[in-house]
């Protein structure tokens, strides 16, 4: 994490709806609208697409999904791309999708769960806008995607082993890439969207230079 981007824990917000009045909502909107986008990262089954669509609807933003971009480009499903061309080809396509997104505005971007595994993707994600990590515990992930037939990274003979191994590898990477983490295990998609709104507000406040300690004030002590 670069020093000017602070990961804001949102665990303390027990009832985000209380924090999301109309004025606050519009505030967040204008911050994101200032030529920026919102990027959702997180493990398979963390709800990136559903939450992204919900936010796009609320804010009248566009919604894009890097997996969908890849599917359209090659006119193949993700499992077909993995089977025909292999994972490395898919990872290159994922990087190229991010390159193609450079310069877009007012868009919610949902990414594939492995987007953080390539360090070259991180600056591209960050350049798009605030990066939100939707996290979920292992049991929740297994409930949501353990039986999924269209996720080639999950070994169907032993999805639990795959999820355990991939989570171990990726949690530090999500942490490194994210500005905000929202723990989604107990929440509906709408509640996650609410928390993103209140979390963005905190994120903006904590990154506002007015709220940083001033050098001259410290020197005066």
Binding residues for ligand S3P, rule: CB under 6 A, are 44, 48, 67, 78, 112-114, 151-153
DSSP string, 192-215: HHHHHHHHHHHHHHHH-GGGSPPH
Q: Measured between alpha carbons, how far is 170 from 46 in angstroms, rounded to an integer?
A: 13
Q: How far is the CB of 88 from ligand S3P (least distance, A)?
A: 12
User: How many residues can be counted in the chain?
Assistant: 221
Q: How far is the CB of 188 from ligand S3P (least distance, A)?
A: 18
Q: In this complex, which beta carbon is closest to ligand S3P, that of residue 28 or of residue 153?
A: 153
Q: In this complex, which beta carbon is closest to ligand S3P, that of residue 28 or of residue 56?
A: 56
- What tokens does 197 get? 């709104």
Q: How far is the CB of 7 from ligand S3P (least distance, A)?
A: 20
- What tokens does 132 get? 């939100």
Q: Looking at 12-94, which runs of residues are DSSP E strands?
A: 38-41, 62-65
Q: In this complex, which beta carbon is closest to ligand S3P, that of residue 113 or of residue 199?
A: 113
* Tokens 């804001």, residue located: 8
Q: How far is the CB of 44 from ligand S3P (least distance, A)?
A: 4
* Tokens 């723990």, residue located: 183
Q: In this complex, which beta carbon is closest to ligand S3P, that of residue 38 or of residue 153?
A: 153
């Amino acid at each position: 994490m670069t020093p000017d981007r602070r990961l804001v824990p949102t665990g303390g917000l027990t009832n985000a709806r209380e924090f999301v009045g109309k004025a606050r909502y519009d505030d967040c909107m204008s911050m994101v609208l200032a030529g920026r986008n919102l990027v959702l990262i997180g493990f398979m089954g963390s709800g990136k697409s559903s939450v992204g669509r919900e936010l796009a609807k609320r804010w009248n933003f566009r919604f894009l999904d890097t997996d969908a971009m890849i599917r359209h480009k090659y006119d193949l499903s993700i499992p077909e791309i993995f089977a025909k061309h292999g994972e490395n080809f898919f990872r290159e396509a994922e990087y190229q999708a991010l390159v193609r997104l450079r310069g877009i505005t007012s868009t919610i971007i949902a990414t594939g769960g492995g987007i953080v595994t390539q360090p070259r993707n991180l600056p591209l994600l960050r350049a798009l806008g605030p990066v939100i990590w939707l996290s979920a515990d292992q049991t929740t992930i297994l409930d949501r995607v353990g039986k999924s037939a269209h996720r080639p990274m999950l070994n169907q003979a032993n999805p639990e082993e795959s999820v355990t191994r991939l989570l171990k590898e990726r949690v530090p990477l999500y942490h490194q890439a994210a500005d905000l983490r929202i723990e989604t295990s107990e929440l509906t998609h709408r509640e996650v969207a609410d928390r993103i709104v209140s979390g963005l507000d905190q994120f903006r406040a904590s990154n506002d230079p007015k709220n940083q300690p001033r050098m001259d004030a410290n020197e005066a002590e």
